Amino acid sequence: MPDWVYAVILAVIEGLTEFIPVSSTGMMLLAKKAMGLPDGFWDTFAVMIQLGAILAVVALYFTKLWKQVVSLPTDPQARQFALTVIVAFAPSVVLGLIFHDFIKAVLFASAEVQCISLILGGIVLLFVDRIAPKPVVDDPFKLPWQKALVIGLFQVLAMVPGVSRSGATIVGGMLFGVEKRAAAEFTFFLAIPTMLGAFILDAWESRAQLTDETMPLIAIGFVVAFVVAIVVIRAMLAILTSRGLAPFGWFRIVVGVVGLGLLTWA
């Protein structure tokens, strides 16, 4: 198949999985391995097209986010929201810069790590869905900075492919009294600076791979991931609100088990 077809397939997977707690990076890397794509550029592709999916959040929540931005000089609530995003973002900045090369070179290369992370993460989702305390915060724009910091620390776990950034942050929020939909929406907002930072860092680190041949593939992946994510975000919130984390937990477990089985018999 031509490379653009692989780019579309991976971008559809990214758009479908970025905002549900099943690890978009893990899914793309497993798909990359299943399709026999080489390491290097396709690992960079998997990171960089995530920004396309993240921009879907900006599109869907533009009015609310823009209100926060223009109100920063006069509204303490808007400044509080900005602070919570910064506080939650900070741990990933520090540890991402420290461990970026190790994550790309070692963890991204291990399909076994990704499958095990999917299974363990699925079990965690099922468990947290049952034992999470009664929520005390139900507005993602009004999180105390302490709870935002906890969510940010949980986000660090998603540096391991297969863990799921959205899964880790939603679990962190729910365990510390944030209502699941509010935790999911704050996760969406936190993804904007997080994925923008990952995009810039990976673009710089992998700049030698960004050529006249590869940039069109990234552009295709970017657009496809954006369009698919627009549809998925609303569906994900509807499922999370009505059925909780269990459907995503079982999905992770099934994919992880099937993946390990295929690796064992390969």
Question: Residue 183 pLDDT more than 70?
Answer: yes
Rounded Cα distance between 43 and 20, Å, is 20
What is the average pLDDT across 41-65? 87
Q: In this predicted structure, what is the pLDDT of residue 93?
A: 81
Asked if pLDDT for residue 98 goes beyond 60, the answer is: yes
Q: How confident is the model at residue 40 (pLDDT cuts 50, 70, 90)?
A: confident
| Residue 156, token pair as written in the block | 């660090």
Give the pTM.
Answer: 0.82
pLDDT value for 109: 58
Tell me the pLDDT band of 103, cut-offs 50, 70 and 90.
Answer: low
pLDDT of 9: 93
120-131 pLDDT tens trace:
999 999 999 999
